[in-house]
Amino acid sequence: MERDSFLALLRQHRAIAVIRADDVSSGLHQAQAAAAGGIRLIEITWNSAQPEQLVSILRQQLTHCTIGIGTALSIADLRCAAAAGAQFCFCPHTDARLIETARGLQMPIVPGALTPNEIVAAWQAGASAVKVFPVSAVGGASYIRSLQGPLAHIPLVPTGGVTVENAAAMVGAGAIAVGLSTGLFPSAMVGARNWAAITMLAKGLVDQLSLSGTALPEGDRRTVLTS
């Protein structure tokens, strides 16, 4: 997938469901619940149980969604993810070797950074966008807003403390999209396998982003699935 196509997906859908699963069944149910609520960008963290299998199955089952991976720490992680069919990659850190490898695999990569210096370095190294992590530790939406003056040209994806309640504020502050993990998949709901409740959270998130003008109406959402 080209960088421009990936950025168009982020602007279109705005929310990424970040799944860290202890078993394949739970991971599949979490992804299905998020998709049922309208989420179209799904990330499987590479420290989930059997992430390759999760990615491969979801590529087949949720053809209307774009499936990627997160918590990639090595070149081996990227190559295994690409072989499984992953369509994008998030990292908690910035490593020029990973960015170069991902670009060679034609896989959009979003490395993690926090300070302005780190964000610029990641972008200059060839990142498709930059993950601002953990955003809750540095002020949330107000921090994203403060970065817009000097760094408005860099697409930012805050994660780490993003919730259904504050996601629209993050995008309104200038983020191209947001990633939600426990904010969308509370441990109590996952433990109780209450997938219907997670679907309602996802629907609420999509509705809030749509109402705030930060996402397109449902009828205009066209997921790009080239890889």
pLDDT for residue 211: 82
Element (DSSP H or E) covering residue 89: strand 89-90
Type of residue numbered 119: I
pLDDT for residue 222: 31
Which of the 8 DSSP states describes residue 18? Answer: E
Residue % of the chain over a pLDDT of 90 = 91
End-to-end CA separation in angstroms for the chain: 4
Mean pLDDT of the chain: 93
| pLDDT for 18 beyond 80 | yes
- Burial class from Cβ neighbours inside 10 Å (0-12, 13-18, 19+) for residue 22 reads exposed
- Cβ atoms of 221 and 13 within 8 Å: the answer is yes
Span 54-80, pLDDT tens digits: 999 999 999 999 999 999 999 999 999
* Rg of the chain in Å (alpha carbons): 16
| pLDDT for 27 beyond 70 | yes
| pLDDT for 119 beyond 80 | yes
| pLDDT for 131 beyond 50 | yes
Span 133-180, pLDDT tens digits: 999 999 999 999 999 999 999 999 999 999 999 999 999 999 999 999
pLDDT for residue 213: 66
| pLDDT for 225 beyond 90 | no
Strand partners, 156: 130
pLDDT for residue 1: 87
Q: Could you give the domains of the chain?
A: 3-210 (3.20.20.70)
Residue % of the chain over a pLDDT of 70 = 93
| pLDDT for 215 beyond 70 | no
Element (DSSP H or E) covering residue 101: helix 96-104
| pLDDT for 206 beyond 50 | yes
Query: What pTM, to 2 d.p., does this model score?
Result: 0.92
pLDDT band at 226; cut points 50, 70, 90: very low
